[in-house]
Structure formats: structure tokens, C-alpha cells
Structure 1
Amino acid sequence: MDGFLYKFLGGTGFVNATPGHLVMLLVGCTFIYLAIRKHYEPLLLIPIGFGILIANIPLPPGFQLISKEFMAGTAGPTTVMDYLYMGVLKGFYPPLIFLGIGALTDFSSLIANPRLVLLGAAAQFGIFATLAGALWLGFSPAEAASIGIIGGADGPTSIFLASRLAPHLIAPVAIAAYSYMALVPVIQPPVMYLLTTKKERQIKMPPAKSASRLERILFPIASFLICTLIAPGAVILLGMLFFGNLLKESGVTDRLSNTAKSAFIDTVTILLGVSVGASASAETFLNPQSLKIFALGAASFAVATAAGVLFAKAMNLFTRNKINPLIGAAGVSAVPDSARVAQMVGAREDPTNFLLMHAMGPNVAGVIGSAIAAGVLWSLLGGG
């Protein structure tokens, strides 16, 4: 009897817990706190945060939540969580998320003011600046590209590219990308204030014209063809994004559109969030490499924000209709949080200034831009 009791006690989490487990359990609880208390991306942080809790319950010797061989790509799935994590490792979940995003997205602001696509493109500078920083820190080109895409502020795209180029980095890349997406209201305002004057923050932009139904239908078709002919590697992500948008705008597939933007994307988000969190065990996450990725991710968001703001200011040198440079910060593809931050900062200077719809233009352009950047990097460094 004493032997069974000793064996039972030896298998409990209290006995097998390490300081690393406690740190990661605290991280998971912090994610859940930020989601509930601060409303920072709750649909993402709660599944990821609870997944981190699942991953860091100390297991008895010989037990595995996600098998290390499967995560390394040297063996097939063996555990239940392996099968759920397969959607992350094999890149299934991100295109499905993009389908739902497309069905949720209104491109009217971008259609009405096409020049705003330049702000979305400018903000992607954060990707390539981070890539250069990762190379400087000693990461391989494929690893650096997977880390650099964090600068696009697009979690699904980050996971997709990492799954193609550096599967062993999916956990820290995904956690960093989603963490900083949630912290957009914290990271972006200081950069926006630093780079703009009070007068610039008070610039009012005229109401944008509305897009016709024909324009909204043609936009996803034309944009898909143009973007994927430029960057064929982005065909999977952009194909699902624009397909979802066409379901929304066609007016004849409401059942499919409503499913894609509700139950479907919610289901995939749950699976993606919990799977990503469950991959962030203390053994695989608390190491110098992951800390470097987190530092680079924070820098990438700041650089991307700065690039968008500065490019908007540069555009004002050559245009009569001035752009409020705050909307340049929305060029990162954290939809719609970056657009809301632009509105929030602008409203502090002038409560009658409504920037949200203008900011949505570069915001959705950032989604397209980050997907194109991922496609280009995949084509150059990984192939099919």
C-alpha cells in the first residue's frame, strides 16, 4: 500500500513542478487576466492563455501532451493534442482563419481611397527590419523570416510562415505575434505621439465616398489576381481571404458568409488558440532563443507603427488632401484594433474627429501586405 501511495505522490504535479512551470502558469494567467480585465483580444488570449496552463501542468515521467518527435517533424501524431496541433504544424488553421476574416472584412474604405494601400505597404517595413535584426542575432535566413513576419501584426500569417520555414519556432513566434497584437493599444500610442505634432493629430479628413456594390464584388476578384500574380506564394492565404470576402459581397451566398464569419471562424480560433498555447511548455519556451524572439517582436511592432506614421507624413508633402498621420499606424494588420487606436488617439486631441473608417483602409491593406510579404519570403526561402 505504501508503494502505491508513494508512486501516486511521485506522479503529482506538485512533486514534478519546476520554477519554469510556475513561470509559464503565471504567463497563462496573465493572458487570461489581460483578456478579461483589459479586453485585450479576448477571443485569442483566453484560448491561448488556457492552452499555456494545459501545457505547463507537470506530467509524470513518460507522459507527453504534445510529443516532441511530432513537434520536430520526425514522427507522426501519437497523442490527442498532437492531432489538434497538426493544424498549426501543417498550416491548416491560418487559411481557414483567413476565410472567416474575409467574410468579416469590409474593404469599402480602401476602395473609396485607394492611396491608403500605400500606408499598409509602408507598415510592412517592420517585417524586413525585424528579419535583418534576427539575422544579426545569428538566426538562419528561414528562422529570421519566420520571426520577421511578426512585424506584420498578423498571428495567422506568422503561424503559417513559421510552419513552412521553421516549425521548431512556431510556439514562440505564435505567442509573440498574438501577445503583441493584444498589446497594440499599449505599444502604438507612445510611438504615434512621439512622431506627430498636436496639429497633425488634429487633421480632419473628409468623409470617404461609399463604394458601389459592383466595386465591392470586383475588388476581391481583381485584388486576388493582381496580388497573387505578384506573389504566388501568397495564393493560399489571399485566396481564402478574398474568397471569404466575395461570399460576403456577392449577396447570393449569405448562408455561407454567415457561417464563415461566425461558427466556422470561432471553431478554428478555439482550436488554434488552445493548440498554440499548449505548445508553449516551459521546456520548449523558456530559453534564450525565445526571449530574443520576444524582444524582436516588440521592436518590430514599434518599427512598423513608426514606418506607417512617417510615410503618411511624407505623403502629405505631395498631396493637397492631407492625411492624418495617425491612420498610418493602422497599416499593421491587427484588425480592427490598430484602427481603433488611431481613432482613440485622434479623439483625445479633438473629440469631433472621426478617423476610424479612414484608418480601416490601411488596416485591411496591412492584412493583404503581410500575406504578400509572407508569400514572397516563402517563395525565396522555402519553395512549395
Structure 2
Amino acid sequence: MLEALLEFSKSTGFYGITAGTVAMLAVACVLLYLAIVKKFEPLLLVPIAFGVLLTNLPFAGLMAEPVLEIKDNIVHTVEPGGLLYYLFQGDHLGIFPPLIFMGVGAMTDFGPLIANPKSLLLGAAAQFGIFITFIGAISSGLFTAQEAASIGIIGGADGPTAIFLSSKLAPHLLGPIAISAYSYMALVPIIQPPIMRLFTSKKERVIRMTQLREVSQKEKIFFPIIVTVVVSLMVPPAATLIGMLMLGNLFRECGVVGRLEDTAKNALINIITIFLGVTVGATATSEQFLKIETLAILALGVTAFAIGTASGILLAKLMNKLFNLNINPLIGSAGVSAVPMAARVSQVVGQKEDPGNFLLMHAMGPNVAGVIGSAISAGVLLSLFGG
């Protein structure tokens, strides 16, 4: 009887708890706290945090690969594998990120960008963080060029793009990179304001911009078609992300596929967000996460994010001086692509200085430009280092 009880105890998860297990469960609880109590992007952090929790439960096997054997030239399944392993194939094969992009496109109004094409430059400037961090990661000696490229893309503050690129260039780093990217996206309201205040004066923060012109429906219909063709011809590897982003936006603007638009921006993106979030979290096992390289990724990721934020602000200030424009530099920080979080932060910081100043629509221009810019940057890096 005693021996049977001992064997039963060895089959429970309690028997498999290690220091690494405790550490990762603590990480999951911290992420859940930020999501539920602090309300930092709960739609992202709740599924990610629960994925971290699930994958680190001893003997649960939710990310276990199937065990196969070949007998008489026929493949037989010995162990079927865990649920999250199969859902993870949507990340691994690059399926979920483009579908997320389609939903983002269906939810996004590109009108502010079309009305003020100069904001495209601010979105481009924010991508400097990607390439500067890439150089820093290479210089550290800890990472290969492919790994450094995957880490650098965190600076775009675009979780789906980070997953898409790292799944192709450095799949073994997918967990730390994805969690870093999504965590910093969720922490936009904390990370960005100090940087915005550091690089701007009070006089600059209260600049009031002129109202944007009205954009016609014809312009909005032609925009996704033209962008898809031009970007895909320039950077073919970016066609998957840009194509899905612009397809979703065409659903929104063409006015004849309301059901498809509704599905893309509601049911579909919500389902994919659940699958993607949980499986991203499920890659964060103690063996993969508790390493010096992970700490370096987290540090490089926040550096990339900070540089991207500062670059957009500084370019806005430079454009004001060189071309005698009246751009509020705060909108430059929105070029980091986290839609619409970064644009909302520009609005909040601006209204703290001048409650009557409305920057949201102006900030949406660089914000959606940043989405396009991060996809193009990923395409460039994939062209250079994708073999």
C-alpha cells in the first residue's frame, strides 16, 4: 500500500516542481497581476500569462510533441502530443501573425496617414530602434545575425511581426522575443511618457496642429491596393504581412463586404489573439526562459523600444526646424507601431500640458505608418538573413 502511494505521489505535479518551475509560475502571476489589476493590455497579457502558467505545470504535457513510430512503413502515433503543441503550429508556420494583421487592417483608419503623408517619415524614423538594436545584439557576441535580427524587431513594438520574423530566423528564441515584444507593448503607457518628456520642452508639447483634411473614400480604397503592390515589389518577403494588413483595410473601406469586415475585426482576430497569446506564453518554459540570453533579450528589447520612441520625436523636431512646420513632437513617439496604444499615449501626454489639445488623430498617422514600417523592416531583415 505504501509503495502504491509513493508511486502515485511521483505521478503528481508536486513531485516535479523545481526552482525553475516556481520562478516561471511567479512570472505568470506577475503578468496576470499587470493585466487584471493594473489593466495593462489585458487582451494580450491574460492569454500570454496563462500560457506561461500552463506550460510550466509539471507533467501536464500541454506542449509535448507527439511520439511517433514507424512500423511496416506506416507511421503510428504512440503519444498524440499536447493541445498547445498543435495550436503552436500556427505561430511556428507563420499563420497567426498575418491573420492578426488582417484584423488590425480591418480596424484601422488609414485616413490620418493619407491626409498627412509627412507622418510616414515619423513612422519610418521609429524603426531606427530596430536596426540600432540589431547592431547592439551582434556586438554583444551572444547572438548570431539571425537571432539579432529577431531581437531587433522588438523595437517595432509589434508582437505579430516579432513572432513572424523570429519563427523564421530564430524559432528557438520565439518565446522570450514574443513575451518581450508583447510585454513592452502592454507597458507603452509606462515606458513612453518619461522618454517623451525628456526629449521635448513644454513649449513643444503644447503645439496645436491644424485640422487634417477630409480623405475621400476613393483615396481610402486605392491606398491599400497601391501600398500592397509597391511594398511587395520593393520587399517581397514583406508581402505576407503587408498583404494581409491591406486586405483587412480594403474590407473596411470598399463598403461592399461588411460581413467580412466584421468577421476580420471581431470574431477572427479575437480567436487568433487567444490562440496566439496562449501559445506564445507556452513557449516560455524554465529551460528556455531562465538563461542569460533571455535577460539580454529583455534589455535589448526595451532599448530598441526606447530608441524607436526617441527617434520619432527627434525627427519631428528636426522637420519643424528644417521646413518651418508645426508638428507636435509628441506624435513622433506613436511611430513605434503599437496601434492604437501609442497614439493614445501621445494624446494623454499632450493633454496633461494642454487639456484642449487633441493629438489623437494626428498621432494615428505615424502610428499606422509604424505598422507598415515594422512589416517592411521585417521583410528587409528576412531578405538579408533568411538564407
Partner Cα separation in structure 1 for residue 275 and residue 354 of structure 2: 41
- Please tell me the residue identity of whatever aligns with 2:50: F
Distance in 2 separating the partners of 1:295 and 1:104: 32
Question: Do the aligned partners of residues 288 and 69 (structure 1) sit closer, same or farther apart at CA in structure 2, a change above 3 Å counting?
Answer: farther
**Which residue, out of 79, 82, 87, partners 1:84?**
87
Shift, 1:283, TM fit: 1.5
Partners of 1:316 and 1:18 in 2: how far apart? 57
Q: Which amino acid aligns with 1:107?
A: F
Aligned counterpart in structure 1 of residue 125 of structure 2, from 113, 122, 126: 122
Q: Which amino acid aligns with 2:98?
A: P
Q: Higher mean Cα deviation, 186-195 or 8-17? A: 8-17
- Give the distance between the partners of 2:200 and 2:15, measured in 1 at CA: 54
Task: Describe how 1:14-53 pairs up with structure 2 within 5 A.
Answer: 14-53=14-53
Deviation, 1:331, is: 0.4
Task: After TM superposition, give the deviation of residue 69 of structure 1 in Å.
Answer: 9.2
Q: What is the letter of the counterpart of residue 377 of structure 2? A: A
Question: What amino acid sits opposite 1:11 in the alignment?
Answer: S
Whether contact under 8 Å (2:66, 2:82) holds in the other structure is: no
Q: Which residue of 1 aligns with 2:70?
A: none
Equivalent residue in structure 2 for 1:372, among 365, 373, 376 = 376
Q: CA deviation at 1:22?
A: 1.3
Distance in 1 of aligned mates of 2:334 and 2:31: 23
Alignment of 1:129-148 (within 5 A): 129-138=132-141, 139-148=143-152
SS in 2 for 1:249: helix
Deviation at 1:18, TM superposition (A): 1.4
Residue identity in the other structure for 1:144:
A
Report the residue type matching 1:233 in the other structure. P
**d(CA) in 1 for partners of 2:66, 2:333:** 41
Is 1:264 equivalent to 2:268 in the alignment? yes
Could you give the per-residue CA deviations for residues 263-314 of structure 1, whole angstroms, max 9, x where no partner exists? 0000000000000111111121111111110110011111110101101100
User: In the TM superposition, what is the alpha-carbon distance from 1:90 to its structure 2 partner?
Assistant: 1.2
Structure 1 stretches lacking a partner, 5+ long:
71-75
CA distance in 1, matches of 2:332, 2:381: 24
How far, CA to CA, are the matches of 1:348 and 1:19 in structure 2?
A: 45
Q: Distance in 2 between matches of 1:80 and 1:266?
A: 19
- Provide the rounded CA distance (Å) in 2 between the counterparts of 1:13 and 1:333: 41
Aligned residue for 1:91, secondary structure, equals coil
Amino acid of the structure 1 residue aligned with 2:130: I
* AA partner of residue 89 (structure 2): M
TM-score, reference length from structure 2: 0.94
Q: Are 2:70 and 1:66 aligned? A: no
Q: Distance in 1 between matches of 2:319 and 2:233?
A: 27
Of the structure 1 ranges 199-208 and 79-88, higher mean CA displacement relative to structure 2 is found in 79-88
The letter for the 1-side match of 2:62 is: L
Q: Structure 1 CA distance, aligned partners of 2:259 and 2:282?
A: 33
For residues 144 and 17 of structure 1, what CA distance do their matches in structure 2 show?
33
In structure 2, what is the Cα distance between the partners aligned to 1:382 and 1:69? 28
Residue 340 of structure 1 aligns to a residue whose secondary structure is helix
Match of 2:73 in 1: none
Letter in 1 for 2:40: Y
**Identity within the alignment, %:** 58
User: Which residue does 1:109 correspond to in 2?
Assistant: 112
> Which of 298, 303, 317 is the aligned partner of 1:299?
303
SS at match of 2:323: coil
SS of the aligned residue for 1:318 comes to helix
148-157 vs 30-39, which deviates more?
30-39
**Counterpart amino acid of residue 37 in structure 2:** R
After TM superposition, the runs of 4+ consecutive aligned structure 1 residues lying more than 6 A away are: none
Distance in 1 separating the partners of 2:307 and 2:55:
32
Deviations 1:29-66 (A, max 9, x none): 1111111222211111000011111011122xxx7432
Amino acid at match of 2:117: P
CA displacement 1:72-106 (0-9 Å, x = unmatched): xxxx9843221111111111110110111110110
The answer to whether structure 1 residue 169 and structure 2 residue 173 are counterparts is yes
Looking at structure 2, the residues matched to 241 and 321 of structure 1 have their Cα atoms a distance apart, in angstroms, of 31
**CA RMSD after TM alignment:** 1.5
Aligned length: 375
Q: Distance in 2 between matches of 1:226 and 1:89?
A: 28
Whole-Å Cα distance in 1 between the matches of residues 222 and 286 of structure 2? 48
1:68 Cα deviation after fit: 6.8
Question: What amino acid sits opposite 1:94 in the alignment?
Answer: P
Secondary structure of the corresponding residue to residue 63 of structure 2: coil
